[in-house]
Structure 1
Amino acid sequence: MSKNTRHGFTFCVCPDGQLIKERIHALLAAQDDTWKVRTFWADEELPDSCWQALTWTSLLGRPTAVVVRKAEHFKAEDWKKLHPILGSFRTGIWPFLCLEKQWERGKPPIPAVLQKQAFWKVAENKGWVWRSAGLDRTAVKKRVEAWAVAQGIDIPEPVRSVLVNALPLDAAALGNELEKLSLLLAERRSMQESDLQVLSFQPDLDIFAFIRALQSRGKEVELWRTLLRNQLGANADMLMPFLALLQREARVLWQLQAGEEDKVFMPGRVKAEKKQMASRLGPQRLSRLWTVILEAESGIKSGEFSQSQAQELVVSRMMQVFGGSGARPTNPQQV
């Protein structure tokens, strides 16, 4: 994109701040000039310097990208104040207005007052609105592959599969986890199963990927088991969030096997895969999952067993439930 075709102003609609930074950097890098960036935050009262930066062009300095983060916090009068600012093209100023609320049912929550503004309609018509719901597992896989190529690292397929589904869906946090792996690997050019132990537990870990691995009974099962044991055992505070994550997945699977698809909102391909598994598991095995969750929670709260015993109980019994084992569950005190 040359300077002659750049946006007059840009809306970035994405809940992931790092992805917004990357998008802005990519747009500016495509320009002939070198742009400096000034960032302001709309979740606090914007200083006069923000409005000045949006209107005053320096004749001697570099062109400026004025980035307003968290613009969903704008009041109606703030949006109206932008009319004369965005109504004129300024060669030395490029406004970026960032809407960062989480998407709802696959759609971005654009403020109604913004949608009524003439400049919003102009931006939509000219393609000056960038939308992204954030990372999904496909995007994480692409980032892992690009990182591996850049670092010259070979990742065996079972390790790669677990890694992709254990990494966070936040771009900045994902970068931090990959940096930890880079430091751990140092001069080694091949990732090993034990290297996954350095990963931190993530509240958005893809628990369905673990369940899928249990069903397939492949090499990934032991990788997942080791990973979860290390992550949950290293930080006792992580077990309850993990149980909440597991409970959410159990609810989705139960609704799908009960034919309540209209109550489950997710991409069609993912829903179809989960429905197939829910049907295969059936109500009896899914009800055992609820028993595992409740037993772990009540055992922790009553003091019947420790957090470490509870995490071992959960991981072991999940293997029994989803791995198809008919063995009688062990006593949590003896796990």
Structure 2
Amino acid sequence: MTTIRPGFMFCVCPDPEMIRDEVRAALERCGTAPDGSAWRIQVHWGDEPLPQSFWTALSVPDLMGGGRAVVLRRAHELDDGFWPRLTPVLASKKPSIFPLFCLEGPWKAKGPNLSKALTSTPYWTVAETRKWVWRSPGLTVQAVRARIREWAGSLGLSPGPGVLDALAGSLPVDQSGLKRELEKLELLLGSRRDLGMEDLDGIGFKADIDIFAFLRTLRNPRERSAAWAHVLARADDDGYALQFSGLLVWEARTMWQLLSGDGDAVRLPPFVRKEKEAAARQIGLTGLAKIWPLALAAERGIKTGAMVPDQALEFLAQGIMGLFNARS
């Protein structure tokens, strides 16, 4: 089903692959160009000098007919003087020209970091009013879990206990990386429909953090500082910080199950189960419940640009050590 094409569109998201998906989806929603042909996509980049051909593409229809989608990627990199120049161009809608502007910068805590030179223009007001602005903060650990469940369901997979949580904790939190790793796992499985922990060894993005060993160290007040020093040594790596956050949520869920009487759903060697039960008792159900919002706040901070990775890890450090201190 096609929809009425917007006069122009803004795609606001820090994930480049999600931007590409939305541009494709927007063109599919609009159907064909006015003459019945497929839209011809012309891409320009805001982090490079814009040629005169960009302005021509926005203003002059193709003499041979056909529709042209003019996509400006990384438009957030443009200086403030660019946006007022668009006002007369966008004021005149041309049915065969569909401009799409992609704002791909990191978000702040309250949302996207947009230039006032853009948001004060009349065409931005029009776009907001007519819902010609698509926004997404990008993938989160929660969204990755949902995507994995959809993927497993579409293939008719039967995952073993804890497998989907383990997979969610070890996959990259970006659209391109997530697709790539799930495709590799699908190839690895072949015609099999059972998905076990042993299959996760076949994906390339492996967790290199032993979260429980880390939490176990935190139980000893004398070793807590050294444990966090080891983690913070890699604080400039946002992939590490997001991986740490995702695995932390997974470990907290396991301990919650052990402590709340749902331990039959957790398969662990007896000595590991005993250690995890002891750690879970020390933190308590109330403390374990606090780990989820801590991890999600840190993750969102990184994805939106409100926190750099070292700030997010320090935020987690203070919160988690507070849980152990409260129970010591």
Measured against the shorter chain, the TM-score band is 0.5 to 0.7
- The change in CA–CA distance for 1:250 and 1:18 in structure 2 (over 3 A counts) is closer
CA deviation after TM superposition for structure 1 residue 69, in Å: 0.7
Matches within 5 A, 1:6-25: 6-25=5-24
- The change in CA–CA distance for 1:167 and 1:61 in structure 2 (over 3 A counts) is farther
Count of aligned pairs: 243
- Inter-partner Cα distance in structure 1 for 2:153 and 2:26: 24
- Inter-partner Cα distance in structure 2 for 1:173 and 1:139: 14
Residues 1:208 and 2:212 are matched in the alignment: no
- Select 2:149's aligned residue among 142, 145, 150: 145
Secondary structure of 2:162's aligned partner: helix
Matches within 5 A, 1:211-290: 211-213=251-253, 215-216=255-256, 217=258, 219=266, 251-256=314-319, 279=323, 281-282=324-325
Output the amino acid matched with 1:196.
L
- Inter-partner Cα distance in structure 2 for 1:148 and 1:101: 31
Native 8 Å contact 2:161 2:267 kept in 1: no
Secondary structure of 1:95's aligned partner: strand
Residue matched to 2:66: 62
- Select 1:173's aligned residue among 170, 173, 177: 177
Residues 1:79 and 2:83 are matched in the alignment: yes
Secondary structure of 1:65's aligned partner: strand
- Inter-partner Cα distance in structure 1 for 2:312 and 2:73: 33
- Inter-partner Cα distance in structure 1 for 2:180 and 2:67: 31
Residue matched to 2:294: none
Secondary structure of 1:130's aligned partner: strand
- Inter-partner Cα distance in structure 1 for 2:82 and 2:195: 51
CA deviation after TM superposition for structure 1 residue 61, in Å: 4.2
Unaligned runs of 5+ in 2: 33-37, 207-238, 273-307
Matches within 5 A, 1:85-100: 85-100=89-104
- The change in CA–CA distance for 1:221 and 1:208 in structure 2 (over 3 A counts) is farther
Output the amino acid matched with 2:102.
C
Native 8 Å contact 2:80 2:115 kept in 1: no
Residues 1:40 and 2:44 are matched in the alignment: yes
- The change in CA–CA distance for 1:135 and 1:82 in structure 2 (over 3 A counts) is same
- The change in CA–CA distance for 1:80 and 1:249 in structure 2 (over 3 A counts) is closer
Residue matched to 2:27: 28
Native 8 Å contact 2:2 2:28 kept in 1: no
- The change in CA–CA distance for 1:49 and 1:155 in structure 2 (over 3 A counts) is farther
CA deviation after TM superposition for structure 1 residue 117, in Å: 1.2
- Inter-partner Cα distance in structure 2 for 1:181 and 1:130: 31
- The change in CA–CA distance for 1:194 and 1:7 in structure 2 (over 3 A counts) is same
- Identity fraction in percent: 33
- Inter-partner Cα distance in structure 2 for 1:105 and 1:221: 38
Residue matched to 1:272: none
Native 8 Å contact 1:65 1:94 kept in 2: yes
- Inter-partner Cα distance in structure 2 for 1:19 and 1:26: 10
Secondary structure of 1:36's aligned partner: strand
Secondary structure of 2:26's aligned partner: helix
Secondary structure of 1:20's aligned partner: helix
Residue matched to 1:291: none
CA deviation after TM superposition for structure 1 residue 114, in Å: 0.9
- Select 1:53's aligned residue among 52, 57, 62: 57
- Inter-partner Cα distance in structure 2 for 1:283 and 1:246: 26
- Inter-partner Cα distance in structure 2 for 1:249 and 1:166: 18
CA deviation after TM superposition for structure 1 residue 62, in Å: 3.0
Query: What are the superposed Cα offsets for residues 274-320 of structure 1, whole Å, 9 maximum, x if unpaired?
Result: xxxx53x33577xxxxxxxxxxxxxxxxxxxxxxxxxxxxxxxxxxx
- The change in CA–CA distance for 1:220 and 1:37 in structure 2 (over 3 A counts) is farther
- Inter-partner Cα distance in structure 2 for 1:115 and 1:138: 30
Residue matched to 2:134: 130
Output the amino acid matched with 1:89.
K
- TM-score w.r.t. the length of structure 2 is 0.66
Output the amino acid matched with 2:21.
E
Secondary structure of 1:96's aligned partner: strand
CA deviation after TM superposition for structure 1 residue 257, in Å: 6.8
Residue matched to 1:234: none
- Inter-partner Cα distance in structure 2 for 1:164 and 1:88: 47
Output the amino acid matched with 1:197.
D
- TM-score w.r.t. the length of structure 1 is 0.65
Residue matched to 2:301: none
